[in-house]
C-alpha cells in the first residue's frame, strides 16, 4: 500500500504542477496590457487558452513527446528497480498489520521485513555505545508499535513523493540546467525534512523520552555528556530509518537529472546536496531534546506520542529551523520557476549552493544549541526530581 501511495502521489505531483504551469503562460498570452484585465472577454479567452493548453498537453502525453518534457518514465523505472532491489535484499514479507502483542510474539509468527530490519540495526550497532544499543533492543522488544507504519517510515511518504513529482516537472521545463538543478535540490530538501518529521512522529512511542522515564533519573546523576549521548542515539536511529527513503530519492533524482541532460558536475552537486540534507534532517528533529526532559519526567509511557506535552514541544521547535532550511528555498525556487528566462543562470546556481551551505552551517549550530541547553535542562529537571 505504501508503494502504491508513493506512485500515486508522485504522478499527482507531476500532473498538478504541470497543469499549473499553463496559468502564467496563458496570462501572458491573453493579458497583453493592463486595460484588458477589466474586460470580460479577456477572461473568457484566458479560460479557453488554459483548456487548449491542457488538451494539447494531454494529447502530447498520450502520443509521445520529447524526453526532456516527459522524463518521468525513466525516473519511475529507476524507482521501481530500487524498490524491487530492496524487496529482494530483504527477502521477507511485509509486517502484519495487527497490533495484538500476543500474536506478534507467538511461535506461529514468521520473520518478516521488520524482523530483518531490526536484526540489521542490531548488527550495525553491535559496537556502538550503550544508549544506541538500548534503543535498538527496545525497538525489537516493542515491534508491535512499529509494525503498522513500518513501510510508511522506510519508503518515501506520500507528501515527499508529491513534492518530488512537482520538482521533476519543474526541472524538465526549466529555462536552464542551473534552474533545473535548483528545482531538484529543493524537492529533495522538502522530501527529506518531511520524511524525517514523519519518521520521528511514527517512532515516538518507542523513542520518546517518556520510555526512559525511570532511566532519566540515573542520567541526572551522571555527567551531562551521558545525557547528550542519549539524544545522539535517537538522532542516529532516526537517521537510520530515513536512510532507505534517502537512497530511493538519491537514485531516482540522480537518474532523472542524467536523463534530462544535466552536466555531471551539477549531478554531483545534486547528489552531495541530497546526502547532506538527509544527514541534517534528523538533527533538526532532535536538537531540542534537552528541553523535553521536564515534560518526559511527568509523562507516562503510554501517553507519549501524538498529543503529548513533549510531542507538542518537539513539533513546535523542530519547525523553527525549517523556515530557513525548507521554506526559504521553496519560495526562492517558486520565484525562479515563475520568472523563467528573466533569471540569469548564475542566480539558481547560487541558490542551489546556498541550500547546501545553509544545511552544512545549520548542523553544528543546532548541535551547539543542544549542548547549551543540556546544562540548564539538566539542572532544572534534577531539581524537580529532588523536590519529589
Instruction: Write down how long the chain is.
Output: 388
Given pLDDT bands bounded at 50, 70 and 90, which one contains residue 326?
A: very high
318 or 380: whose pLDDT is higher? 318
Residues near 60 by beta carbon (within 8 Å), at least 6 away in sequence: 69, 70
d(CA 234, CA 293): 14
d(CA 73, CA 53): 22
* CB 144, CB 104: distance < 8 Å: yes
d(CA 254, CA 274): 10
Encode pLDDT of 184-234 as tens digits. Answer: 999 999 999 999 998 888 888 777 777 676 677 666 666 666 778 888 888
pLDDT of res. 232? 86
d(CA 86, CA 91): 9
* CB 244, CB 160: distance < 8 Å: no
DSSP letters, 275-342, are HHHHHHHHHHHHTTGGGGHHHHHTS-GGG-STTSHHHHHHHHHHTTTHIIIIIHHHHHHHHHHHHGGG
Say whether pLDDT at 31 is over 80.
no
Encode pLDDT of 136-176 as tens digits. Answer: 888 888 777 777 778 878 888 888 888 888 888 888 888 88
Q: What is residue 67's three-state secondary structure?
A: coil
Q: Which residue has the cell 528566462?
A: 341
CA torsion sign, 330 to 163 to 281 to 304? positive
> Could you give the C-alpha distances from 313 to 168, 288, 291, in angstroms and in order?
34, 9, 8
Number of H helices, E strands in the chain: 20, 0
Q: What is the CB neighbour count within 10 angstroms for residue 324? A: 13
Quote the domain boundaries for residue 151.
2-387
Highest average pLDDT, of 5-9, 229-233, 275-279, 312-316, comes from 275-279
pLDDT of res. 349? 93
pTM over 0.75: yes
Highest average pLDDT, of 24-28, 50-54, 269-273, comes from 269-273
R_g (Cα) of the chain, nearest Å: 24
Can you read off the three cell numbers belonging to residue 130? 550503550
Residues near 193 by beta carbon (within 8 Å), at least 6 away in sequence: 277, 281, 284, 322, 325, 326
Can you read off the three cell numbers belonging to residue 354? 546556498
Q: What is the pLDDT averaged over residues 68-80? A: 50
Can you read off the three cell numbers belonging to residue 104? 506478534
Residues near 206 by beta carbon (within 8 Å), at least 6 away in sequence: 135, 138, 139, 142, 145, 146
Q: What is residue 39's three-state secondary structure?
A: coil
Q: Pick from 174, 171, 169, 175: which is nearest to 341 by CA?
A: 175
Question: CB burial class (10 A; 0-12, 13-18, 19+) of residue 328?
Answer: middle
Given pLDDT bands bounded at 50, 70 and 90, which one contains residue 289?
A: confident
Total domains in the fold of the chain? 1
Tell me the CA end-to-end span of the chain in Å, nearest whole number.
48
d(CA 68, CA 54): 18
Angle, helix 22-30 to helix 40-63, in steps of 10 degrees: 140
Q: Pick from 34, 329, 375, 12: which is nearest to 182 by CA?
A: 329
d(CA 3, CA 253): 17
- Which helix or strand (DSSP H or E) is residue 42 part of? helix 40-63
Say whether pLDDT at 382 is over 70.
no
d(CA 110, CA 269): 43
Amino acid at each position: 500500500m505504501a508503494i502504491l501511495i508513493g506512485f500515486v502521489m508522485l504522478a499527482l505531483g507531476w500532473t498538478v504542477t504541470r497543469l499549473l504551469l499553463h496559468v502564467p503562460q496563458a496570462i501572458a498570452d491573453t493579458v497583453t496590457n493592463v486595460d484588458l484585465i477589466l474586460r470580460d472577454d479577456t477572461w473568457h479567452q484566458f479560460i479557453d487558452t488554459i483548456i487548449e493548453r491542457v488538451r494539447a498537453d494531454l494529447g502530447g502525453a498520450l502520443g509521445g513527446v520529447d524526453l526532456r518534457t516527459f522524463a518521468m518514465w525513466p525516473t519511475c523505472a529507476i524507482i521501481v528497480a530500487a524498490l524491487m532491489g530492496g524487496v529482494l535484499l530483504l527477502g521477507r514479507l511485509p509486517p502484519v498489520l495487527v497490533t495484538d502483542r500476543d500474536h506478534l510474539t507467538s511461535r506461529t509468527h514468521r520473520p518478516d521485513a521488520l524482523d530483518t530490519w531490526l536484526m540489521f540495526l542490531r548488527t550495525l550497532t553491535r559496537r556502538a555505545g550503550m544508549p544506541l544499543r538500548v534503543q535498538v533492543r527496545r525497538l525489537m522488544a516493542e515491534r508491535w508499535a512499529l509494525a503498522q507504519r513500518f513501510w510508511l517510515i522506510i519508503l518515501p511518504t506520500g507528501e515527499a513523493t508529491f513534492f518530488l513529482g512537482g520538482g521533476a516537472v519543474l526541472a524538465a521545463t526549466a529555462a536552464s540546467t542551473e534552474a533545473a538543478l535548483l528545482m531538484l535540490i529543493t524537492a529533495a530538501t522538502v522530501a527529506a525534512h518531511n520524511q524525517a518529521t514523519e519518521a520521528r512522529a511514527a517512532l515516538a512511542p518507542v523513542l520518546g523520552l517518556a520510555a526512559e522515564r525511570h532511566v532519566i533519573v540515573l542520567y541526572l546523576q551522571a555527567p551531562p555528556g551521558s545525557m547528550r549521548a542519549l539524544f545522539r542515539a535517537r538522532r542516529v536511529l532516526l537517521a537510520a530509518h530515513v536512510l532507505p527513503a534517502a537512497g530511493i530519492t538519491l537514485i531516482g533524482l540522480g537518474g532523472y537529472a542524467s536523463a534530462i541532460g544535466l552536466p555531471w558536475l551539477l549531478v554531483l552537486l545534486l547528489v552531495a546536496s541530497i546526502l547532506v540534507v538527509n544527514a541534517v534532517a534528523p538533527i533538526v528533529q532532535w536538537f531540542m531534546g534537552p528541553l523535553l526532559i521536564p515534560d518526559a519526567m511527568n509523562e507516562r509511557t503510554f501517553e507519549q506520542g501524538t498529543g503529548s506535552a513533549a510531542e507538542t514541544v518537539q513539533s513546535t521547535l523542530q519547525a523553527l529551523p525549517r523556515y530557513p532550511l525548507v521554506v526559504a528555498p521553496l519560495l526562492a525556487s517558486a520565484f525562479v520557476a515563475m520568472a523563467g528566462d528573466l533569471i540569469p543562470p548564475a542566480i539558481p546556481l547560487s541558490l542551489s549552493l546556498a541550500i547546501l551551505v545553509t544545511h552544512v552551517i545549520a548542523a553544528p549550530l543546532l548541535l551547539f544549541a543542544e549542548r547549551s541547553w543540556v546544562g540548564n535542562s539538566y539542572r532544572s529537571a534534577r531539581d524537580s526530581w529532588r523536590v519529589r
